[in-house]
Amino acid sequence: MNVILKNGDSLALDEGATCANAAAAISEGLARNAVAAKVNGKLVDLSSRLQEGDKLEIVTLKDKEGLEVYRHTCSHVLAQAVKNIFPTCNLAIGPVIENGFYYDIDFNTPITQDDFEKIETEMAKIIKANTPITRFELPRDEAIELMTKYGEKYKVELIKDLPEGEPISFYKQGSFTDLCRGPHLPSTGKIKAYKLVSIAGAYWRGNEKNKMLTRIYGVAFAKKDEMAAYFEMLEEAKKRDHIKLGKELKLFALMNEGKGFPFFLPDGMKLKNALVDYWRDLHRKEGYVEIQTPIILTRTLWENSGHWDHYKDNMYTTKIDGEDCAVKPMNCPGCMLVYKNEPHSYKDLPLRIAEMGLVHRHEKSGQLHGLFRVRCFTQDDAHIFMLPEQITDEIKGVVRLTDKIYKQFGFKYKVELSTKPENSMGTDEEWELATNALKKALDEMKLDYEINEGDGAFYGPKIDFHLQDSIGRTWQCGTIQLDFQMPQRFELEYVGEDGMKHRPIMIHRAIFGSIERFIGILIEHFAGKFPLWLAPKQVKLLPITDRSAGYAKELCEKLAQEGVRVEVDTRNEKIGYKIREAKMEKVPYVLVIGDKEAAEGSVNVNKRGVEQNYTLTAEEFISVVRKEIAEKIIF
């Protein structure tokens, strides 16, 4: 028989050959590195048998899917090790997460991280044994009987909840058997680098009414040096922690009186306003108009938008004059009303409407984290209303603007295209049209992107931007969502060239995503050492004597007139102490001013990141600072 390889070549194999046989037929090296395969686009075990005409792709640890298979197998090794040591425990689920895996387990006797060493020792024995991992399927009744025999009540519950007719598969490695869809590595011996890292509580199936289980987290990498680099990155991340730096730099405060509602302090507001001013300037140049919509709107609006049915659990509700209302979790419906407020012609389109809107979402207290997960935040939303023939150009325009903003902060990024989810509005034809429009724009711009199946918004497909920061972590920030549904639900119209009424098509988009979260990312990206144009304190003047204090104040006024955020430290402290304190505040420019500088009209410049001080005239320094701010130099 013949199968088709990824490059289009045909590969002849014996009838009944497996994916592993195919890998060996291609090359000895590929067979050695193979961990799984994709057959007709579906990820499968290497032991899966092939049929005539199958499209085959061999998966290694260089592939994202390969690492997922590797890490999922690690979770099974963890489960086996735990069962060997604590035979009375019950296993729940053990999925893959970023950089690793976890397993939720019900222990009769609580465990702690002190138990990790003996669990890892047992895992090492299982891996060293290089036990083959085999897959088998059972009918529903036999599957329940098997898991009941092993005393795995959570597995029994999972099996009973599976749809009728769905294959019920298990994976066996030595004496250990676990319910799992797979796929898995061919044997335990392929695991090279792993470590258990933390323990937490987790409700069974995420429902707080269910029993609290113990979740054991682990990380796993293809090579030991990759794992070492990961832990080095974590150590660096601790130093950059935005909660720690936010407190030290007096940018924001987290208080029990407002859990999930951050307080921005004076320097934090300077930073936030610098971001907003930059955003406004760019959007004005790109032809956007800015609006502001109310924070509280009636229930009927949210029912019309679909949020009441799809998002109510995350919304804060209230009553006003006896009428049900909700605090907005999103800006979109308010913008629909603004569009509908006056008639539009095809000549008005595209219409680009932007809003820095404060939104509120009910997040669980356990999920709150600094500025990264909050209950109120400012979205830099925009909605673009357009003609069908304008879709591609408008999407390209948003992508170009997004690229410009991210590069301004030194971010690299990757792009993801998310398709129709299960819980969605609209017809398959509308979704296909919208998805193809996004693909076309990305393809024409020659941007690499990944498909994220089933992760679109409930009203339309979307493009997501994942930023990579200075220490290699990724953050999902920007999004572009093409929406055919909202204009229909709100009966938006424009008069076409034919004199008839038509429905506009709409783009939702955000670039920062959340101003608060983006600030948290920037704090960690720059380790608090913001570029001059963004820094809350751009220049700090440190007079040495009372005589030089007058000159320092005059220079401060000149810099302030140029729009520079400048302070004078006239406290009666030693100059060394003042310099150290300014460096702790991560001020880009610290100017030491004595009698000599006052007499000469000069400044002694201590620039952040530069070892040697240097002298400039006051006018030269003002010119340098003015240029650096105007050009928004990053480093």
From the candidates 71, 83, 373, 462, give the one annotated as an active-site residue: 462
- In whole angstroms, what is the distance from residue 297 CA to residue 533 CA? 37
From the candidates 83, 215, 328, 383, give the one annotated as an active-site residue: 383
Listing DSSP states for 549-590 in one string gives: HHHHHHHHHHHHHTT--EEE---SS-HHHHHHHHHHTT-SEE
42-44/90-91 β-pairing: unpaired
Helix axis angle, 618-630 to 546-561, nearest 10°: 40
From the candidates 71, 190, 361, 537, give the one annotated as an active-site residue: 361
Instruction: Give the CA count within 13 Å in the CB-facing half-sphere of 368.
Output: 18
From the candidates 80, 379, 390, 538, give the one annotated as an active-site residue: 379
- In whole angstroms, what is the distance from residue 329 CA to residue 614 CA? 51
SS (H, E, C) 480-527: EEEECHHHHHCCCCEECCCCCEECCEEEEEECCCCHHHHHHHHHHHCC
> In the annotation, is 267 catalytic?
no
Q: What are phi and psi of 579, to 5 degrees?
A: -65, -45
Listing DSSP states for 165-223 in one string gives: T--EEEEEETTEEEE------SBGGG--EEEEEEEEEEEGGG-TTSPEEEEEEEEEESS
- Count of H-run helices and E-run strands, the chain: 20, 33
> In the annotation, is 369 catalytic?
no
Residues 608 and 583: beta-carbon distance below 8 Å: yes
From the candidates 76, 283, 508, 509, give the one annotated as an active-site residue: 508
> In the annotation, is 381 catalytic?
yes
From the candidates 19, 180, 332, 335, give the one annotated as an active-site residue: 332
> In the annotation, is 565 catalytic?
no
User: Structure tokens of 417?
Assistant: 């295209």
Residue with tokens 């709409």: 506
> In the annotation, is 361 catalytic?
yes
User: Structure tokens of 290?
Assistant: 């800015």
- In whole angstroms, what is the distance from residue 358 CA to residue 321 CA? 23
> In the annotation, is 632 catalytic?
no
- In whole angstroms, what is the distance from residue 54 CA to residue 269 CA? 59
* Amino acid found at 153: K
- Any residues with CB less than 8 A from the CB of 160 and at least 6 apart, and which? 144
**Sign of torsion over alpha carbons 145, 149, 153, 154:** negative
From the candidates 381, 403, 464, 469, give the one annotated as an active-site residue: 381
> In the annotation, is 508 catalytic?
yes
- In whole angstroms, what is the distance from residue 148 CA to residue 213 CA? 19
Residues known to be catalytic = 332, 361, 379, 381, 383, 462, 508
